[in-house]
Structure 1
Amino acid sequence: MARKRDPARDAARELWEKSGKAAKLKDIAEQLGKQPSQVRKWKSEDHWEQEHSKGSAPIEKERSLSHAVPRAVAKSTAPEKQKKFVMLYLQRFNATWAYMKAYGADYQTAAAAGSRLLGNVKVAAMIDELKAEQAAELHMTQMDVLQDLAKQARADIGDYVEFGSDAVVELKDGKPTGITYQVDRVHLKDQSEVDTSLVKSVAIDKGFVKLELYDKQKAMDMLLKNLPDAAIKRRADADADVAEMQRDEMRGVGYKNPLMETLAKDAAKLKPEEMKHDADKPEQD
């Protein structure tokens, strides 16, 4: 016996449409006492973005089919094996594995053919559209991803730990011996004081604290791949200007003494007769 359709399913879509398709799914879920993930699933399976007559629910068989084959794949004129390849590829983003599964090819053949197939116009179009659909359902844009990467690239270990060395006086029988030695210390900052989204892992292993942040260099490389060429050039020019200024400061080139500048400005304000009057004054012992 088929499971009865949850009445909240249609109510969720109605709330979304009444809001002009602007309501957030998590807010709808909260109103209906459902999990946001459940409402996102309904939106995907029932294709809320497509127009339908009010009060009509999708036929169960059509909904199952649409869930199995996304709209971007179903409407494509690409061969069936290419469609299967795309759906498999989006599961693991592994072209070799997807090609082996879709075409029944061996590893060596799939390793070469899989990467080539990613360059196929129809395949690339399906992948791009499916990624856009997935991002919409997750309420995530490319800018959201880039902002997270930028946070990872700027992460500083000093925001999470306090470390240094302390001078400790040796004691013997409770009395100082006059011998001093250094003791290193490392303290984690309290969880409430830091951004935990940048922490990859934290653990205590054999009495030692291990804190790992996400790879800064990897995040920077990803950012550079996604930044426009103009933005990369502006950053490079800015870095070059800063480096040149630092070199000039080290060499004393272009450095202006603030005190001398102030005295020169004050002197420039004096009238000629005032300067002569000051010059005529006798020196005092």
Structure 2
Amino acid sequence: MTKQEMAEKDYLAGMKYKDIAAKYEVSINTVKSWKKRNGWVRGAPKKKSVHPKTKKVAPKKEIPAVKELVEDTDLTDKQKTFCMYYLQRYNATWAYQKAYDSTYETAMTSGSRLLRNDKVKSYLSKLKTQQAQDLYLTANDILLRYVHQATSNVNDVLSFRTEKHLAYYKIRDANGPYEDGGGKFRYEPKINPETGEQDFYYEHIVELKDSKDIDTSNIKSIRIDKGEPVVEMEDKQKAMQILLDRLPEPEVNDDSTNSLLNAIGAGLKKIWSDRDDKEK
């Protein structure tokens, strides 16, 4: 049974507003709003009907669930409903349509105007604080996730190694020790004409790490293409930009600035020098 349902029983039993408010740790205004919204009436006579008829009632529009509405506000019920819907998608037009059952054209202008209302902004701020407490989540928690994303590396998921193999010719031979669909064959070493020694080649191997050793939180997708794993990580540049937008500007002294400029200048001079050498 919800807090409102228990409060209704106490109200119908004759308990006063202030006593109900104290019992359930809410304000008197909240108790009054519960009464008005749910139609609590003390001593309402029970109607009896010999031939009861089923009455069709239009379904009541559901308001997005929040544990407890923020108390002591002068907003109307529709304004509060707008705020609840807005926190679902952060879309003022959609929230206004849902709360006021209006056309899209009306919601386009009225939604943004309502969002600029000082009382609405204050109410939204309180609701966000309440949501954060319910979720045990802060802005720092989200920024830490971006830090984790920005510092992720494909090496966290894939392992790379190179193996050296000797090179052989595959020669068909009726007396060969090996056999395939084309018949018997043997292998002969492939000799490098320059060194006179057996030639070799390198094989580059990419393998997916064991799932128990992988942090999947930074992986966008994994697929196998032509027998090789292909991993797409979350956007590191986007995460870095988000962090840069929220972190203070770095302090740079004159010495470090000059060192950086000198390094850039030296690099450019080398590029120009190499280009001039090629043109000569």
> Shorter-normalised TM-score: what interval?
0.5 to 0.7
- The answer to whether the 8 A contact 2:64-2:84 is kept is no
Q: Determine the structure 2 residue equivalent to 1:278.
A: none
- The answer to whether the 8 A contact 1:72-1:126 is kept is no
Q: Determine the structure 2 residue equivalent to 1:136.
A: 133
Q: Which runs of 5+ in 1 are unaligned?
A: 4-49, 253-285
1:195 offset after TM fit, Å?
2.9
1:210 corresponds to which letter in structure 2?
V
Q: Quick one: structure 1 residues 130 and 161, their matched pair in 2 at CA, closer, same or farther if it must change by over 3 Å? A: same
- The answer to whether the 8 A contact 2:64-2:85 is kept is no
SS in 1 for 2:119: helix
1:220 offset after TM fit, Å?
2.2
Q: Distance in 2 between matches of 1:210 and 1:51?
A: 61
- The answer to whether the 8 A contact 2:146-2:240 is kept is yes
Q: Distance in 2 between matches of 1:88 and 1:180?
A: 67
Please give the residue correspondences for 1:3-42 in structure 2 after superposition, counting only pairs within 5 Å. Answer: none
Q: Quick one: structure 1 residues 138 and 79, their matched pair in 2 at CA, closer, same or farther if it must change by over 3 Å? A: same
Query: Does structure 1 residue 232 correspond to structure 2 residue 249?
Result: yes
Aligned-residue sequence identity (percent) comes to 37
Query: Does structure 1 residue 185 correspond to structure 2 residue 205?
Result: yes
1:15-47: per-residue Cα shift (whole Å, max 9, x none)?
Answer: xxxxxxxxxxxxxxxxxxxxxxxxxxxxxxxxx
Q: Quick one: structure 1 residues 145 and 175, their matched pair in 2 at CA, closer, same or farther if it must change by over 3 Å? A: same
Greater shift in the superposed pair: 150-159 or 108-117: 108-117
1:136 corresponds to which letter in structure 2?
Q
Q: Determine the structure 1 residue equivalent to 2:278.
A: none
* Aligned partner of 2:263 among 245, 248, 251: 248
- The answer to whether the 8 A contact 1:146-1:223 is kept is yes
Q: Determine the structure 1 residue equivalent to 2:195.
A: none
1:40-92: per-residue Cα shift (whole Å, max 9, x none)?
Answer: xxxxxxxxxx98589xxxx9xx7x98995654445321233221111111222
Q: How many residues align?
A: 192
Please give the residue correspondences for 1:43-122 in structure 2 after superposition, counting only pairs within 5 Å. Answer: 71-122=68-119
SS in 1 for 2:249: helix
Query: Does structure 1 residue 162 correspond to structure 2 residue 159?
Result: yes
1:176 corresponds to which letter in structure 2?
P
Q: Quick one: structure 1 residues 139 and 69, their matched pair in 2 at CA, closer, same or farther if it must change by over 3 Å? A: closer
Greater shift in the superposed pair: 136-145 or 104-113: 104-113
1:196-232: per-residue Cα shift (whole Å, max 9, x none)?
Answer: 33223334356442322222122223223333xxx22
1:154 offset after TM fit, Å?
1.4
- Report the TM-score, using the length of structure 2 for normalisation: 0.53
Q: Determine the structure 2 residue equivalent to 1:175.
A: 188
Q: Distance in 2 between matches of 1:251 and 1:162?
A: 37
Q: Distance in 1 between matches of 2:265 and 2:202?
A: 33
Q: Quick one: structure 1 residues 77 and 216, their matched pair in 2 at CA, closer, same or farther if it must change by over 3 Å? A: same
Q: Distance in 2 between matches of 1:250 and 1:163?
A: 36
Q: Which has the higher contact order (CA 8 A, sep 6+)?
A: 2
Q: Quick one: structure 1 residues 191 and 241, their matched pair in 2 at CA, closer, same or farther if it must change by over 3 Å? A: farther
Q: Determine the structure 2 residue equivalent to 1:213.
A: 233
Q: Determine the structure 2 residue equivalent to 1:273.
A: none
- The answer to whether the 8 A contact 2:219-2:231 is kept is yes
Q: Distance in 1 between matches of 2:92 and 2:136?
A: 26
